[in-house]
Structure 1
């Protein structure tokens, strides 16, 4: 089996327009959650989110391109451009044929759907834009990244709700690990911050209108975010031969299904995914230095995740730093694991441990080291990123310093 490393990363999210801005915001415990600004937001009960502000798509893309690009595709293209540029790879010849794209998304072109439903049902129009289908399909972002960069290998979208990005990155890892690909562009993108997107989530009654407070005794729900993060996963020897900067090694990956409930999380399912990722990487619980938790800020998720971490790591769970960066950028649903991977890389590469902000008083059932409210500087050799989705689908990725 081949070793897999990360040689490029890119992002756009509520904390920053690139990786440097995002990590700086995390290091300074900044919050990107604020008042929602889009048509009909005043009709919503939930009025906050991790929205990307001061973004003008027309400054990045031509009018012709925007005919085909829903915001989730725009975000993916921006993040992919940054990641590929940092990697230094040029995809032509044989490399292009053995490189591909796997991205996660839950809603796909939801903003396109929302706008056109309104046009037909509210405004009474009988026509929609001729490119509605290419804009809204879940594989739109993958296809445009593939076409933009000439990636001719395996290209597809993974949609597993809040675990979409981790599942996508896990599949990309296995593609390179098996030798099926030399390099894969992977991560996730989401843009659900529109009237229909928020209104649907309101119905679940899991949203907060006061802020995201993972593991806090006063937490009252999740807060949605938007954006993308994309990475270049590359075969280690290929990266070393060309003198590429290696950010981290993708050491292991595992997934599991709760097979129990469509919305309630399971301690057993989460524990098995964590243990599986360690087994995949050949790691012991005591090797783990940092966990980027799924940490949504809902009552059920946070206590279930804490129990799973303790079950998986035993007594070492109390020595591990755990944080939820959703407290700062919000829950990007299908894109969330990708943005959270940035924090894992920062921990391994630079020793920057992102905090869990808004943590005033920990829930007694959540008694781990949550790096409360202030970032920490500490060397970390191994980090894992948890993603536990509606539908009981779990995916955990392990990174290692190289």
Structure 2
């Protein structure tokens, strides 16, 4: 039997606002946090919507602190603060026996865009640009903010980045390398140049994200951060830490086939590996927080992957995508959706897939919890993250 790993704290910043409660309320109620992208800087964009976090760095950092931070690092620090405080933890006391792993899809792109502006205009650039841009900046800034001196890692696996971070944390604890891991991800790319790049890829919806629905036409960009504190269950109990859930399993695979189009066979293999890692059967799973981007091809692939794993038990599985509420957070998606999954299992509620119109006849039928939340009786669920480049991750959670 593998080492039991508890989740003792969670924190996030999303378009729903600061904190886990705000995120869960929006996801549960199907309350989309959509912002209009106004101003001359977005004049070239056909897509004018995103799920922007209502986050002002000046509310959390002094001017001297802020000058060393890209927005993605700032979001990570604030999310980590909530998670660590919720866990009633003192990471400085954990020394070498704690890991910190923060994922991102692209890193400090806001600073990158600013430096390009300085280059084209001939103005002086930011002398702190490189340490703000680097993909490990968020992890390093969180480590400095909370005195975390153990293993420090940054994952960069596109939309699976923070799911990888969570999975690696589980593996490090089970292997006995560390006793605890602070894991998650952060992303902040709702800026004109990034939005235009995504628009050119033809994966953004100009209207509304509709995962698994006929008539879907793409995803909505989001921004934010999510962080979870993982601990060996026995040590968490020993110090009287709150137990908010359990991390039961992790599976990951590579498609090795296409940069953009998901392979349902390899996606299903990631889910199967996660279930095997958790020593569970498909019939044990009550809820799936799907990757569910709302793109035409990828939703078909995910539904097929689920059918390959769950077979006859699939009709009993509540499958929802909460991305239409909080947007696609890319490198932070896995962590934010892990938080939603844990809350769903504890509350016994599958949050809805909003904006659903009608089933897509080209897709394997699933119960995508259309538009209205549904009760779930089981206490075990999975969260899927399937990234560009063919990086597939699935995580298994259970209620506290």
TM bucket, shorter chain: over 0.9
The residue number in structure 2 matching 1:390 is: 388
Deviation at 1:16, TM superposition (A): 2.4
Once residues 291 and 169 of structure 1 are traced to their aligned partners in structure 2, the CA distance between those partners, rounded to angstroms, is: 17
Describe the SS at the equivalent of 1:384: strand
Once residues 36 and 354 of structure 1 are traced to their aligned partners in structure 2, the CA distance between those partners, rounded to angstroms, is: 27
Q: Which runs of 5+ in 1 are unaligned?
A: none
The residue number in structure 1 matching 2:23 is: 22
Deviation string, structure 1 residues 300-320 (Cα, Å, up to 9, x no partner): 010100000000111111110
8 Å Cα contact 1:73-1:140 kept in structure 2: yes
8 Å Cα contact 1:100-1:146 kept in structure 2: no
The residue number in structure 1 matching 2:3 is: 2
The residue number in structure 2 matching 1:101 is: 100
Once residues 91 and 305 of structure 1 are traced to their aligned partners in structure 2, the CA distance between those partners, rounded to angstroms, is: 38
The residue number in structure 1 matching 2:80 is: 80
Once residues 335 and 40 of structure 2 are traced to their aligned partners in structure 1, the CA distance between those partners, rounded to angstroms, is: 28
8 Å Cα contact 1:222-1:330 kept in structure 2: yes
Once residues 309 and 34 of structure 2 are traced to their aligned partners in structure 1, the CA distance between those partners, rounded to angstroms, is: 32
Deviation at 1:34, TM superposition (A): 2.5
The residue number in structure 1 matching 2:114 is: 115
Structure 1 residue 228 and structure 2 residue 222: aligned? Answer: no
The residue number in structure 2 matching 1:349 is: 346
Deviation at 1:191, TM superposition (A): 0.4
8 Å Cα contact 1:38-1:194 kept in structure 2: no
The residue number in structure 2 matching 1:49 is: 50
Structure 1 residue 337 and structure 2 residue 337: aligned? Answer: no
The residue number in structure 2 matching 1:69 is: 69
When the two chains are superposed, the root-mean-square deviation of aligned CA atoms in Å is 1.2
Once residues 333 and 351 of structure 1 are traced to their aligned partners in structure 2, the CA distance between those partners, rounded to angstroms, is: 27
Deviation at 1:43, TM superposition (A): 2.0
* TM-score with structure 1 setting the length: 0.97
Q: Against the structure 1 CA distance between its residues 325 and 78, is the aligned structure 2 distance closer, same or farther, given a 3 Å change threshold? A: same
The residue number in structure 1 matching 2:214 is: 217
Pick from 280, 287, 291: which aligns with 1:290?
Answer: 287
Alignment of 1:121-200 (within 5 A): 121=120, 123-125=121-123, 127-200=124-197
Once residues 238 and 212 of structure 1 are traced to their aligned partners in structure 2, the CA distance between those partners, rounded to angstroms, is: 42
Deviation at 1:366, TM superposition (A): 4.3
Number of residue pairs matched by the alignment: 398
Deviation at 1:374, TM superposition (A): 1.3
Pick from 367, 377, 380: which aligns with 1:369?
Answer: 367
The residue number in structure 2 matching 1:246 is: 243
Structure 1 residue 318 and structure 2 residue 315: aligned? Answer: yes
Deviation string, structure 1 residues 116-172 (Cα, Å, up to 9, x no partner): 111211x222x3111001111111110011111111111111001111111111001
Deviation at 1:385, TM superposition (A): 0.4
8 Å Cα contact 2:348-2:379 kept in structure 1: no
Deviation string, structure 1 residues 49-86 (Cα, Å, up to 9, x no partner): 11113x22111101011111111001100100000000
The residue number in structure 1 matching 2:90 is: 90
Pick from 265, 269, 272: which aligns with 2:266?
Answer: 269
Once residues 190 and 56 of structure 1 are traced to their aligned partners in structure 2, the CA distance between those partners, rounded to angstroms, is: 15
Deviation string, structure 1 residues 333-358 (Cα, Å, up to 9, x no partner): 11111111111101221212111000
Once residues 316 and 340 of structure 2 are traced to their aligned partners in structure 1, the CA distance between those partners, rounded to angstroms, is: 19
* TM-score with structure 2 setting the length: 0.97
Once residues 116 and 74 of structure 1 are traced to their aligned partners in structure 2, the CA distance between those partners, rounded to angstroms, is: 18
Once residues 364 and 308 of structure 2 are traced to their aligned partners in structure 1, the CA distance between those partners, rounded to angstroms, is: 13
Once residues 376 and 92 of structure 1 are traced to their aligned partners in structure 2, the CA distance between those partners, rounded to angstroms, is: 41
Deviation at 1:39, TM superposition (A): 6.1
Deviation string, structure 1 residues 206-233 (Cα, Å, up to 9, x no partner): 1110111001101001111000010001
